[in-house]
Amino acid sequence: MSLASMAGMGLANRAHAAAHVAPIRRIEAIPLKYPVTHYFRFFPKPERPTILVKIVLEDGLVGWGQSVPSPAWSYETPESVLTGIREYLAPPLIGANPLDVQGAHLKMNKALAPSFSTGAPIAKAGIDLALYDLAGKLAGRSLPELWGRKPLEKIPLSWTVNVREIKEVEPLVAEGKALGYKHFNLKVAPDPRFDVELARAVRKLAPDCFLWADANGGYDPATALAVTPKLADAGVDVLEQPVASNRFSAFRDLKRQGALPILMDEGVVSASDLMEFIRLDVLDGVAMKPARTAGLWDARKQVEMLEDAGLLFLGSGLTDPDVSLAASLQLFAAYGLKFPAALNGKQFLKGSVLKTPIEIKDGAALVPTGPGLGVEVDESKIVDGQATGE
């Protein structure tokens, strides 16, 4: 019984039908690396490690997810994600109903408990995405359709400018423009003088772009307050994560300063976090990453909370390839993202394990339209732990 045919049933009948969905037989965690083609501060090695998640039901149906750890960005490592899934998160889900995503999160949170917020969210995201992939396949619908929403057909992207010297800016911007990109995001901090010069250089080269600066928590509070008006004068439109996640008073002061809209990223893991931050009035919006929020279950709640509060919802990622990228596109398309997304996996990575890789055309990502996450994994493209397809 598919979710589509269940939709019109009464509650009791839907529960009965769901009980007859084949349960989860096994969950596999597969280490998978993608070559990194350009300098990017978060990948000291020329590779992007991920963990591909494969959930197999008793009837043989397969759902795919992907965890995208980045140890230079957060505490989760490829090794911790692999062990976390295999030893802690997968065992309590064996035999469970794959359509009970909420129940799966409750079990995962019991297996790997929270500290300040959701514990091991990047590891949990891989399983969450695979469950949603299964839900869509069981219903024969894409995720936006499953959620009752009409999706965008494409998502305009933002080209990442991450340079060590100003002389690198012009050729990098030209490379993005040649590929059809019209909007740019900057990696800034900790050097405020360099950052202002960088913003001016990009604004001069792309006067009509949406210019997004991301400090990844790299400024101290005093520096952030001093540089934010200068970044605004240099042409920046929004500033993401100017200070560390636990500097709530600094976020409050920056929001009150009003020089730029202030986005949170690293510190917003769960919807309960976001609710508190909204009540504290410390942010103007969030740079949403399903990989950071333990997947789509919580990410959807957060987007809807932002909409209800009249705050900014921007889309970004963790240099996501393949399955994780597809999930982000489904979320952003379903909720009508209004700003160019900082999804730079295609900019910095090569290789794919998809039968049909996600296409970037004229600086926009075409949203996959198949059931579930909309993409199909070709396991023959995984060779010695490397993504070998194009």
Q: What's the rounded mean pLDDT across residues 37-59? A: 94
pLDDT tens profile 353-363: 999 999 999 99
Q: How many CB atoms lie within 10 A of CB 252?
A: 16
Task: Give the pair of three-digit tokens for residue 71.
Answer: 């140890």
Under a CB-based contact definition with an 8 Å cutoff, are residues 324 and 50 in contact?
Answer: yes
- The CA-based angle 150-316-146, given to 5 degrees, is 25
Give residue for tokens 């990696």.
Answer: 187
The ranges assigned to domains in the chain are 3-141, 146-384
pLDDT tens profile 124-139: 999 999 999 999 999 9
Burial of 115 (0-12, 13-18, 19+ CB in 10 A): exposed
Average pLDDT, the chain: 94
Under a CB-based contact definition with an 8 Å cutoff, are residues 353 and 32 in contact?
Answer: yes
The model's pTM: 0.94
Among residues 149, 150, 231, which one has the least CA distance to residue 189?
231
Among residues 82, 86, 88, which one has the least CA distance to residue 49?
82
Task: Give the pair of three-digit tokens for residue 58.
Answer: 């008793």
Q: How many CB atoms lie within 10 A of CB 166?
A: 12
Residue 16 scores a pLDDT above 60: no
Q: Which residues pair with 313 in a beta bridge?
A: 286
Dihedral (Cα; 74, 113, 271, 146), 10-degree rounding: 100
Residue 15 scores a pLDDT above 70: no
Among residues 34, 73, 32, 28, which one has the least CA distance to residue 54?
28
Under a CB-based contact definition with an 8 Å cutoff, are residues 273 and 307 in contact?
Answer: no
For CA atoms 332, 339, 267, 53, the dihedral sign is positive
Task: Give the pair of three-digit tokens for residue 147.
Answer: 């959620």
Among residues 23, 128, 32, which one has the least CA distance to residue 78?
32
| Count of helix runs (H) and strand runs (E) in the chain | 14, 15
Describe the crossing of helices 322-334 and 121-139 by its angle, rounded to 10 degrees.
70
Residue 13 scores a pLDDT above 50: no
pLDDT of 44 reads 86
Read off φ and ψ for residue 265, nearest 5 degrees.
Answer: -140, -85
Is the CATH code 3.30.390.10 the one for domain 3-141? yes
d(CA 152, CA 218): 34
Residue 6 scores a pLDDT above 50: no
CATH homologous superfamily of 146-384: Enolase-like C-terminal domain (3.20.20.120)
Describe the crossing of helices 169-178 and 192-205 by its angle, rounded to 10 degrees.
40
pLDDT tens profile 309-323: 999 999 999 999 999
Query: Reduced to 3 states, what is the DSSP secondary structure of residue 336?
Result: coil
Q: How many CB atoms lie within 10 A of CB 71?
A: 15
Q: What's the rounded mean pLDDT across residues 237-242? A: 98
pLDDT tens profile 140-189: 999 999 999 999 999 999 999 999 999 999 999 999 999 999 999 999 99
pLDDT tens profile 362-378: 999 999 999 999 999 99
Instruction: Catalogue the E-assigned strands of the chain.
Output: 24-35, 47-57, 62-67, 154-156, 158-161, 183-187, 211-214, 238-240, 262-264, 285-288, 312-315, 360-361, 364-366, 382-383, 386-387
pLDDT of 11 reads 37
The number of CA neighbours under 13 Å toward the Cβ of 386 is 12
